[in-house]
Amino acid sequence: MPSKFKVLFLGDIVGCRGRKVVTSFVAKVRKEYELIIANAENASGGLGLNAKNAWELKKAGIDILTSGNHIWKFKDIIKVLETEEWILRPLNYPLAPGRGFTFFSLPQGGEILVINLQGRTFMEAIDCPFLGVDRLLEELNFKGPVIVDFHAEATSEKVAMGYFLAGRVSGVLGTHTHVQTNDCRILDGFTAYISDVGMCGPVESVLGMEKGIIIERFLSKRPQKFDLAKGKAKVCGLSLTIDRLTGRCEDIAFCNWEEENDSC
């Protein structure tokens, strides 16, 4: 059994173009990674995730789908959340269907724990993600690799979570804002951290949406119907090399890719 393994974590998948570019990219790199995780809460129409698209992404080679506050938009995803272990909703939603963590058996040996959390600053006042993940780690007492998707708005809350879990998990990877940050690093010589992995979706856009509409909203301050942007798409991801037994992250690197032509 190799002492190290690689994980690919993909940022928020946005709409048709996000799904298509991720499907193409995963087909190219699938053999390089024992585990591929992607946040898919915006994969259906740019807001939410339906059952059909969830299964499509799973069949495309993504092992685990994480999510966030938009996961509840489509009712047909509830059954998938309740019955499948490869799709997560944030752990700290009270009395919610589905699960906030899952174990994944690595192809070349060992297990990894994946946890999905959601922040509260500038977002819904759900249960505390800090106390929730602290309780979970204590209850499970799992000594192997652990990856946390922290779906949050405020950078301060994400950075705080990184330091809170430093030395206890393999990675704290931020999602939700759709803009890749340049602060990836390894905390305490153990825990990979980034404030936001970024977005998988249209390049010429505002967070995946048609830029003209967003600009008009800022100018007029009137409500606007958002449309998904067209054109070429990109993948924003992060590659982690992790010790299989200790869970220590030994290397963290951006893994970004832009398609040559419009895929959708």
Query: pLDDT tens digits for 39-93?
Result: 999 999 999 999 999 999 999 999 999 999 999 999 999 999 999 999 999 999 9
Whether 263 has a pLDDT exceeding 60, the answer reads no
Position 163 scores a pLDDT of 99
In-domain check, residue 94? yes
Which has the minimum average pLDDT: 9-23, 28-42, 148-162, 206-220? 206-220
- Residue 221 belongs to a domain: no
Is-catalytic flag, 70?
yes
24 inside domain? yes
Question: Is residue 220 included in any domain, yes or no?
Answer: no
Q: What is the CATH number of the domain that holds 66?
A: 3.60.21.10
Domain range for 49 is 4-202+230-258
Whether 246 is in a domain gets the answer yes
pLDDT at 264 over 60: no
Task: Please say if the pLDDT value at position 262 is more than 80.
Answer: no
Instruction: Identify whether 222 is part of a domain.
Output: no
- For the residues of 120-169, what is the DSSP string, one character each? -TTS---S-HHHHHHHHHHHH---S-EEEEEE-S-HHHHHHHHHHHTTTS
Residue 223 lies in a domain: no
Tens of pLDDT, residue by residue over 153-182, are 999 999 999 999 999 999 999 999 999 999
Number of H helices, E strands in the chain: 6, 15
173: in domain: yes
- Residue 82 has φ and ψ, to the nearest 5°, of -80, -25
Residue 84 φ/ψ region, left for φ over 0, alpha for ψ in the -120 to 50 degree band, beta for the rest: beta
Q: How much is the mean pLDDT over the chain?
A: 95
* For range 206-235, the mean pLDDT: 85
Look at the chain and report how many structural domains it folds into.
Answer: 1
